[in-house]
Chain A
């Protein structure tokens, strides 16, 4: 009888430990290693970016917009123009490469992949990952603003590898909350101490765009 009780207690203890471990994992998200020191939790929904160092992040540098994943660039263009930047005053290019970006510039990069977009642009996920890695390599010389607006449809095996690269080297992450339902962005932000802002819909990012663009 003693043996049976011992076995049951042992099993219960192992199960408790397993559940605790799983819960810890969920808290830190799926952002890769969980060694970040700063616990970055997303600001309350629909908040405007408020870090002083991010205000007018463009400064005197040039402004670019691109997409890694060939989706939703028009959404970010719409926000940039509505924030008060004339279309002629910045460069929007869906195939922009890191070496086309001058040092000291700011690049708004929309992440999340579209199958139609990739096919239409004549590229694929592997080539987009190469482009993303090039931006990552140059991240200390430019400002990258990571934007994700496509929700869960722009997540998954095709999207997530490039999301990890770009979000992980950005100065700030702006994401529509449905696209962060598994806390991928939260994990990346935690690991890299990057401010993360969640929005109920893309239009709610407008004030943050104005803040970042100094408008």
Chain B
């Protein structure tokens, strides 16, 4: 009886509410009236126009916004179009930053002779001068130092400058000291000393920010003592010009430098902008014949080794492949992120020939401070750096992953704090607690903040360099490569200093190691 009474009371309240609504007299709008129709249509049209203009201006501002980086340590800046000519003048023609080792031995010549001295034999035939500091690492069997006059670096370079000598064999640091003054001098192509090199890649996927920031850690802090460091921290610059459709992502996030200056970075999309590459086919067929879903056709990390005349994305990956090939780069590390619920996370994926180096780095360096796995690159999954950049170059190629909540599907509201994970996401934290309590694996790794993610990547690159040095400093031997067989050769140590370590970044934060910009 009581329930029936309560039901009747509820029904009465609903009836009364409906009656109250009926009593409100709304003005009637007769849309059959031509005048009314024009007014309503015009209002809607104007509103649509305003929204289009406002969003268009915002998108244009975002597309044209270029994150700035400190390049005070950089010796040379090239761009993709040097290696993939059809990219010239396009949004994806990203810079390639090059830092040469202080102790690398080089031959300094007049700029007009740059192409003339492209082998050691031609250097030997020249009237050259050599400095003591610059011959330490020279293979003496190839270069008979005793036959070359000796002088200090400044004198040797001056003699080339004034035409007394043709060549000065000095260290790169010696050349750097006069480089800006003696602009008519340059470094000859001849490889006076074989040195190892590394390419650190970030920003393959602009929605995976720790990759870009870790590459930027190297760009803005590294002092190369021996070898060559190449940094590309906007691998797919086109993908930085738009955001991920239907994800309501933030466009920017900010970090504070040690002095309190704000550095602004973009959070972009996983794929090349449709403005640069359109239309999208239903099925993406890679050059290997592999077929993937259409969404991958604009994913640069499904397009290697690339194609000079292919899609825009293939032109980009072609530039990277040619950069590695033409400069005979020894090691490549491509820095990525994945959602916490993705299985390959907190891991290094290594090309078959790079697996020993990756395992050594894990066992003897990385395991001391972090939990990290090593996976071999599947031979049948094409287009990825760890597969086809490895297959089509002579480099040891690695890809590393960290745990980024802003890429995941469990996340709640999107904000810049989700990107940096300085404000924890309640759903990811719940999943983490659930896993801890029940021994499940909702997450393969907990969501990590930007400091930890960048620290992991930065330390992983440093550990791989250490393992290269520990395991004999020998370049990759290619037995069954798609570009021909080649024996590895001794290159000596790759020495890069001043890059913040894992604990440094964890203690002080990423921003502390970013430079102030003028």
7 pairs of residues in contact across A and B, judged by CB atoms under 8 Å:
A72-B359, A74-B358, A78-B359, A79-B363, A151-B371, A202-B362, A203-B364
> Chain B 349-387, CB within 8 Å of chain A: the 1/0 string?
100000110111011100110010111111111000000
Given A116-B376, A120-B376, are A74 and B359 also a contact pair (CB < 8 Å)? Answer: yes
Instruction: Report whether B377 and A120 are in contact in the complex, using a CB–CB cutoff of 8 Å.
Output: yes
Shortest Cβ distance from B379 into chain A, in angstroms? 5
Output the nearest chain B residue to A118 by Cβ-Cβ distance: B378
From B344, B358, B376, residue with most partner A Cβ within 10 Å:
B376
Does B136 sit at the interface, judged by CB under 8 A? Answer: no
Q: Is the CB of B379 within 8 A of A120?
A: yes
> A119 near B: Cβ within 8 Å?
yes
Question: Could you tell me which residues of chain A, from 79 to 117, have a CB within 8 Å of some CB in chain B?
Answer: 79, 114-117
B343 touches A115 (CB 8 A): yes
Write the B60-93 contact mask toward A (1 if CB under 8 angstroms, else 0).
0000000000000000000000000000000000
Residues of A with C-beta under 8 A to B356: 74, 77-78
**B363: A residues at CB distance < 8 A:** 75, 78-79, 201-203
Bound CA span A71–B356, Å: 12
Closest to A178 in B: B371
A153 on interface, CB distance cutoff 8 Å? yes
In the complex, which residues of chain A have a beta carbon less than 8 angstroms from the beta carbon of B355?
74
Say whether B364 contacts A117, CB under 8 Å: no
A119 to B368, CA, bound (A): 30
Are A74 and B378 within 8 A (Cβ)?
no
Cβ contact within 8 Å between B362 and A75: yes
Pick from B367, B378, B441, B444: contact of A119, CB under 8 Å: B378
A82 CB to closest chain B CB (Å) equals 9
Give A75's nearest chain B residue, CB to CB.
Answer: B359
Interface 0/1 of A197-208, CB less than 8 Å to B: 000011100000
User: Is B376 a contact partner of A153 (Cβ separation < 8 A)?
Assistant: no
Q: How many residue pairs at the A-B interface have CB separations less than 8 Å? A: 65
Q: In the complex, what residue of chain B is closest to A155 when comparing beta carbons?
A: B441
> How many A residues, CB 8 Å from partner?
26
- Which 5 A-B residue pairings sit nearest by Cβ, starting from the closest? A120-B378, A74-B359, A201-B367, A74-B355, A203-B363
CA–CA, A115 and B367, complex, Å:
22
Let me know if A35 is at the binding interface, CB within 8 A. no
A125–B439 Cα distance when bound, in Å, is 23
Given contacts A74-B374, A116-B349, A122-B380, list 9 more A-B pairs with CB under 8 A.
A74-B355, A75-B363, A116-B376, A117-B376, A120-B380, A121-B379, A152-B441, A156-B441, A202-B363
Q: Interface of chain B, helix or strand or loop or mixed?
A: mixed
C-alpha spacing A178/B372, complex, angstroms: 12
> Is A42 on the interface with B (CB-CB < 8 A)?
no
CB pair A153–B379 under 8 Å, yes or no, is no
Q: How far is the CA of A116 from the CA of B379 in the complex (A)?
A: 9
Residues of A close to B368: CB separation below 8 A:
201
- B188 vs chain A, min Cβ distance (A): 38
Interface mask (B11-33 → A, CB under 8 Å = 1, otherwise 0): 00000000000000000000000
Within 8 A of A (CB), among B477-505: none
CB proximity to B under 8 Å, residues A168-200: 178, 182
> In the complex, which residue of chain B has the Cβ closest to the Cβ of A156?
B441
- Residue contact A119 to B364, C-beta cutoff 8 Å: no
Q: Which residues of the other chain, B, contact A151 by a CB distance below 8 angstroms?
A: 371, 373
Give chain B nearest CB distance to A170 CB in angstroms.
Answer: 21
Question: Does A29 touch B at the CB level, under 8 Å?
Answer: no
Q: What CA separation (Å) do A120 and B444 show in the bound complex? A: 21
A201 vs B368: C-alpha distance when bound (angstroms): 8
Please state if B444 and A153 are interface contacts (CB–CB under 8 Å). Answer: yes
- In the complex where A119-B380, A119-B381, A122-B380 touch, is A202 in contact with B374 (Cβ < 8 A)? no
Assembled-state Cα–Cα distance A70/B20 (Å): 72
> Which residue of the partner chain B has the closest CB to A200?
B367
Contact present for B377 and A116 (CB under 8 Å): yes
Cα(A150)–Cα(B375), bound, Å: 10
Residues of A within 8 A of B379 (CB): 120-122
**Contact across chains for A78 and B360 when beta carbons are under 8 A apart:** yes
Task: Give, as a whole number of angstroms, the nearest-CB distance from B477 to chain A.
Answer: 12
Query: With A and B bound together, what is the CA distance between A77 and B362 in angstroms?
Result: 13
Candidates A117, A156, A202; contact of B367 at CB < 8 Å: A202
Could you tell me the distance between the alpha carbons of A120 and B349 in the complex, rounded to whole angstroms?
12
Given contacts A72-B374, A75-B374, A150-B373, contact A116 B362 (CB under 8 A): no
Within 8 A of A (CB), among B260-307: none
**Residues of A contacting B377 with CB < 8 Å?**
116, 120
**Contact indicator B367/A203 (Cβ below 8 Å):** yes
CA distance A97 to B360 in the complex (A): 26
Residues of B within 8 A of A117 (CB): 375-376, 378
* Residues in B neighbouring A202, C-beta threshold 8 A: 362-363, 367
Smallest CB separation, A26 vs chain B (Å): 12
For A120, what are the chain B residues with a Cβ–Cβ distance below 8 Å?
Answer: 376-381
Q: Which residues of A contact B444 (CB under 8 A)?
A: 153
Say how far B481's CB is from chain A's closest CB, in angstroms: 17
- List, in ascending order, chain B residues with CB within 8 A of A119's CB: 378, 380-381
| CB neighbours of B358 from chain A (8 A) | 74
